[in-house]
Amino acid sequence: MEERTELETIGEFGLIERLNPKREIRNESTILGIGDDAAALKYNGKVILVSTDAMVEGVHFDMVYTPLKHLGYKACVINFSDIYAMNGTPKQITITISASNRFSVEALEELYAGINLACEKYNVDIVGGDTCSSTSGLFISITVIGEVDEDKIVKRSGAKPNDLLCVTGDLGGAYAGLLVLEREKVTFKANPNFQPDFSTYEYILERQLKPEAQKEMIEWFKENDVLPTSMIDISDGLASETLHLCKSSDVGCELYIEKLPLDYETTRTLEEFKIMPDVGALNGGEDYELLFTVDQKDFEKIKTNENIKVIGYITDNSQGSNLITPQNTTIELRAQGWNHYRKEE
């Protein structure tokens, strides 16, 4: 009998490695394939970045509380974020939409209103795509094409011992927003006349429903002559992304819990749900901030930017990847963020 391996036993990234073992590069124009935030292709001296992300109803979004305009905007932004994570600039997208007859023409126009708004804000062109029917709700897949100068491309694999480990913005907000939306969904199902009050959760709800990509940070790097040694965007949680970066660079890290940047509203909401704020910051996901490393010589520059927080430093691979508690206790860093194939309890 043929052996059967369950998807949950290897997870999303294990599946990617299983389906895409290290392959021979057949074309000179392919300079970076599977394994980073975007593929990199070289044409006429210019590096073209390509990335694809899909969003599936019932997996990535819930129509009970997700406005279609916000969904279209978010679908674009999470793709743009992959290009910025390579220190590039998104230029074009193609869009594939599969929708059931539950959705009207007007509903899909609302979805596209969000897509158009994101493309206008980030100066990106829509250049093609596909539409087809679906028997199970809504599916959106966007392929983004970007550019970067060859000597400015930043990969996950460039971190080296003693580099500073940095993050933009604050963490855990999108996860806190999701917790609030899921709680109100349960209440609404029990009482359809219920009208939730979201007035004290505006920031975290925006972080979940309408995130932004870090365009301004990439522009700041260029203006201040800072080139990160490695970089990744935070979609699956800080802990998970840190481990990806360390694995790609063959290094370890020391990450300080007390340095994690948390917004007051995020902290208050996570505590409301009896979740330690640092746990939410490490494992929540969907923040779409940038996690990056820089040489220590750039510290004087980055410390002038209030949007950048130094949360640790890179070590030799032999030292492992660790969390350092406020009591100076060392704990092995583990990823407990989003995994598409984890079996629900």
Tokens of 176: 């806190």
Chain-centroid distance, C-alpha 213: 9
Alpha helices in the chain (DSSP H): 7-19, 68-84, 105-122, 173-190, 202-209, 215-223, 238-249, 264-272, 277-283, 299-302
Q: Is the pLDDT of residue 17 over 80?
A: no
At residue 7, the pLDDT reads 57
Q: Is the pLDDT of residue 124 over 90?
A: yes
Dihedral (C-alpha) 242, 248, 250, 256: value to the nearest 10 degrees? Answer: -10
Alpha-carbon distance of 257 to 312, in angstroms, equals 9
Q: Is the pLDDT of residue 29 over 60?
A: no
* CATH class assigned to 164-332: alpha beta
For 49-152, CATH gives 3.30.1330.10
At residue 43, the pLDDT reads 76
Alpha-carbon distance of 11 to 44, in angstroms, equals 38
Between residues 68 and 193, the one the model is more confident about = 68
Order of strands across the sheet that contains 30-32: 30-32, 39-43, 46-56, 138-148, 89-99, 125-133
Which range is least confidently modeled, 34-38, 62-66, 146-150?
34-38
E strands within 288-344? 290-294, 308-316, 321-324, 330-332
Alpha-carbon distance of 258 to 244, in angstroms, equals 22
What is the pLDDT of the chain when averaged over all its residues? Answer: 89
Q: Where are the domains of the chain?
A: 49-152, 164-332
Per-residue pLDDT reduced to its tens digit, 98-122: 999 898 989 999 999 999 999 999 9
pTM (two decimals): 0.87
How sure is the predictor about 132, in pLDDT bands with cuts at 50, 70 and 90? Answer: confident
At residue 345, the pLDDT reads 42
Alpha-carbon distance of 294 to 159, in angstroms, equals 8
